[in-house]
Amino acid sequence: MHETLFIVIPCYNEEEVIHETAKQLNDKIAAMLEQGLVNEKSRVLFVNDGSTDKTWEIIRQLHKDNNLFSGLSLSSNKGQQNATYAGLMAAKKYADVVITMDADLQDNIDTVDKMLGEYEKGYEIVYGVRSSRKNDPLIRRAAAESFYRVIRLIGVNVVFNHSAYRLLSRRAVEALEDYPEVNLFLPGIVPLLGFKNTIVAFEKKERFAGTSKYSIPKLFSLAIEAITSFSLKPLRLISLAGIFFMLIGAAIVVYSIAIAVSGSFDEWLLVLSSVLAVSGTVLLSVGIVGEYIGKTYMETKRRPRYHIAETLLDNEDL
């Protein structure tokens, strides 16, 4: 095979885990070099996403001690999606194949071999998919699974239980560059590339250190980002909701006439329920439309996704 492999790892405040991540990946790539799976130009590219701890200082030292490790530092925190994209765009100049993964060692690095095996079979996109969530806390497991079900139901084509662990061929990464949207959601964009793809299941490990950067509120925010960036169904649901409440209104009129005959008609209750129903529907509808208008507004500005403050990449070695 002897391909040039880049492993891209977005990092935000990962000082507690990054030394161990580097150690394990150093051992993994050394083993793959011995097996002839990759060549000596392969690299681990850490992307510092505006960390406020010592993450970037550690990456600098790792690069100084071992040219296997390269680094990219964004000028400010831009989020995991943009940090991953920045790493992919930097890696495509040198790599035949790129694997993206999280820094917390929950993505089982032994799965890299299986991904490369599928790449050898001709697959240009390989999704790392969690085999189960049995080790997750109940609330987090319910939130994560609901996230995938809701965005798929609403029309976003995503791979269930897949997040950031994936393999992309150079051609797939180059195709990804053709998607210029500022509102970036890679799990939704990558399936749009259309290249031959498959999945590899893996058992997610316990986080080595630190805490997850994806809280339940952030999962909710990510779901809103995914839905409004890839689906028009919420807008269509507004029309259906309008029809539904018109029918409810008509039914209330009929009911009011019927009970008025008996002399037990409560006008205030009818008015209150009607006002609450209509007001709630209008506010929700305006909020959904506003979300889409806001997304369109941000896209039309064409602002850059990120700025690179510093690069640690030994071009002469590649």
Q: Quick one: pLDDT at residue 136?
A: 66
So where are the chain's domains? 5-140+156-214+303-317, 233-301
Out of 53-67, 130-144, 157-171, which region has the weakest mean confidence (pLDDT)? Answer: 130-144
Out of 183-192, 293-302, 306-315, which region has the weakest mean confidence (pLDDT)? Answer: 293-302
What band does 257 get if pLDDT is binned at 50, 70 and 90? low
- C-alpha–C-alpha distance, residues 179 and 190, integer Å: 10
Q: Quick one: pLDDT at residue 223?
A: 66
- State the DSSP code for 129: E
Q: Quick one: pLDDT at residue 235?
A: 64
4: number of Cβ within 10 Å:
18
Q: Quick one: pLDDT at residue 289?
A: 76
pTM score, whole prediction: 0.75
State the DSSP string of 3-62: B-EEEEEEESS-TTTHHHHHHHHHHHHHHHHHHTSB-TT-EEEEEE-S-SSSHHHHHHHH
Q: Which residue has the higher pLDDT, 289 or 67?
A: 67
Q: Quick one: pLDDT at residue 131?
A: 78
Q: Quick one: pLDDT at residue 50?
A: 93
Q: Is the pLDDT of residue 135 over 90?
A: no
Residue 269 structure tokens: 């209750």
Q: Quick one: pLDDT at residue 185?
A: 83
pLDDT digits (tens, 9 = 90+) for 192-222: 898 999 999 988 776 555 555 555 566 666 6
- C-alpha–C-alpha distance, residues 193 and 260, integer Å: 61
Q: Which residue has the higher pLDDT, 14 or 303?
A: 14
Q: Over the chain, what is the mean pLDDT?
A: 81
Contacting residues for 252 by C-beta, under 8 A, at least 6 apart: 270, 273, 274
Contacting residues for 77 by C-beta, under 8 A, at least 6 apart: 12, 49, 50, 51
Q: Which residue has the higher pLDDT, 315 or 199?
A: 199
Q: Is the pLDDT of residue 121 over 90?
A: yes
Q: Which CATH architecture has domain 5-140+156-214+303-317?
A: Alpha-Beta Complex (3.90)
Q: Is the pLDDT of residue 318 over 60?
A: no
pLDDT digits (tens, 9 = 90+) for 79-104: 889 999 999 999 999 999 999 999 98
Task: Identify the sign of the CA torsion 191, 123, 111, 54.
Answer: negative
Q: Which residue has the higher pLDDT, 153 or 68?
A: 68
Q: Quick one: pLDDT at residue 183?
A: 76
Contact by Cβ (8 Å): 87, 47: yes
Contacting residues for 250 by C-beta, under 8 A, at least 6 apart: none
